Amino acid sequence: MLFTGSYGVGEKLRRVNVSTPGRILALELGGKNAAVVLDDAPFEKAVEDVVLSAFSTSGQRCTCASRLVVTRGIADRFIEEVARRAAALVVGHPLDPAAFCGPLASPRALERFEALQRLAEEEGAVAVIAPAEAAVSWEGRAHRGCYATPRVRRVERREKRSAYQREEAFGPDLAVYVVDDVEEAIAVANDTDYGLTAGVWTQSEASFEHAARALHVGGLSWNAPTVGASSRLPFGGVKNSGNHRPAGAFSTLYCAYPMAVTKG
């Protein structure tokens, strides 16, 4: 059985199947993925990659980056540029070639996303981009749909019980954390119940290798977007992101079983 979706549904499937050990259960359950940007990152490429990672398909990919963890030396300039480019993205009709991203999947998805935004306000996450209503037109007429504009929020204080900081948004939202060094960046990136993907932007191979050893994720990119996983590689996460690597290059292991044959 292969399932891609929320942790809550995946946990129910696991409980239902606990008494059938012969059944293979492959779970891919999303993430709260971090983009870790260090002071020596290739600045322009990192900005472009982070915007793409956060807002592709309106943030509706399990590999989208929903957290930006940036070191203090470049933080203000980097956040300002990410916010500027995010605010300029065109949210539009799916058939509009000028649109960067389209609507959320359903009215329920939009309602959940907006509810999480209200929680962010209540919890003190500071809006870097002023929230705006998406004004979408198509073929000369206003088009109503489940549209949401990109949001960038600066988190000043980490809270274990913060719904905004802990839950998967699955929408165009980027929470920003400013840290002092790579060690604090790794600690913040790991401070989540999920462990699907992460990205690290640095020109130092030693810094990347150090982060790669310490980050608790199933997939990691170096100076590249978190979105766009290759099917030639194993795909999946740790912690609440799923059980091992159920997709990509390892997917055949979940669709068949080996038979050991001994010949005399």
Long-range CB contacts (within 8 A, 24+) of 186-189: 186/36, 186/211, 186/214, 186/215, 188/34, 188/67, 188/69, 188/158, 189/34, 189/36, 189/67, 189/69, 189/215
* 3-state class percentages of the chain: helix first, strand second, coil last, to nearest 5: 35, 20, 45
62 carries an active-site annotation: yes
CA distances from 170 to 24, 32, 50, 224 (A): 27, 9, 16, 20
Quick one: 211 exposed, middle or buried, by C-beta within 10 A (0-12, 13-18, 19+)?
buried
Q: Is the dihedral of CA 58, 60, 65, 66 positive or negative?
A: positive
What number of CA atoms fall less than 13 Å from residue 3's CA on the CB side? 19
**Is the C-alpha dihedral spanning 202, 206, 211, 213 positive or negative?**
positive
70 touches 155 (CB < 8 A)? no
b/e map 179-203, b = 16+ CB within 10 Å? beebeebbebbebbebbbbbbbbbe
The single residue of 11, 48, 62, 183 carrying the catalytic annotation is 62
In the annotation, is 183 catalytic?
no
Q: Which residues are marked as active site?
A: 28, 62
